[in-house]
Amino acid sequence: MAAGNVHTAPNTGRSHTIGLRRNGTVLATGWNGDGQGNVSAWQNITAVAAGWRFSLGLRADGTVVAAGRDATGQRSVRNWCDITSLSAGDWHSVGIRGDGTAVAVGNSRRGQCDVSDWSGLSSVSAGCLHTVALRADGSVVATGERGTGACNVFNWEGATAISAGSHHTIALFDDGTVRAAGNNDFGQCDVQDWMGVVDIAAGSLHTIGLLADGTIVATGSNRDGQCDVGGYEVRS
């Protein structure tokens, strides 16, 4: 489950979508003004991530390819190796290595790329100006912009999944509950009553959760109908 999390602003309306095929190739649609959709030559891809005007692809051999905007160095991933998962923020890219450490490139004006001392990681998620990661022991770490509160996750334990929105962070816990930290101007952090959740995703200004019965819950900005999920049902 995924939600568009590029920061909401007048200059971010031009969006793109990328998809991973079963045969390891990638396709893209949408605005391609910076070449973010130039992914047709990619092969042996196992995971993809879309940032603001750029795209990332993880190859089966642990290397990473990138396309699109590189104004802040967010595409400087050519030397990455042994990567097991990755995430694209608005202006930075983050990856987890096979040994559980992290690497990041791009804009780090708020410290969102300060991940070199992290270890024991199992997943990572990049927001607009922050980065959050889940450790194998269920604890959560974060770095970047502190003013929004999106990095206030250091007492979280027992997490099984994490996701970064533009300026908020959410985590799923082993008891099926969800916690949130950060900007809540649109109610995107109002998840305290959710129960029986099995998957989560943070958008720019909204949050969605998949329940064990296959239904979906959502909270936050609904300006474009992004929380109109009442009739959705996921079937295995």
Q: How confident is the model at residue 8, as a pLDDT?
A: 52
Q: How confident is the model at residue 6, as a pLDDT?
A: 56
How far lies 140's CA from each of 19, 131, 200, in Å? 28, 11, 15
Residue numbers of the chain with a pLDDT score lower than 50 = 1, 3-4, 9-13
Q: If 0-12 CB within 10 Å is exposed, 13-18 middle and 19+ buried, where does residue 136 land?
A: exposed
Q: How confident is the model at residue 16, as a pLDDT?
A: 87
**Domains of the chain by range and CATH?**
16-194 (2.130.10.30)
Query: Cα dihedral sign for 40, 41, 43, 47?
Result: negative
Count CA within 13 A, CB hemisphere, residue 208.
21
pTM higher than the cut 0.85: yes
Q: How confident is the model at residue 5, as a pLDDT?
A: 53
Q: How confident is the model at residue 12, as a pLDDT?
A: 45
Q: How confident is the model at residue 231, as a pLDDT?
A: 81
Q: How confident is the model at residue 11, as a pLDDT?
A: 46
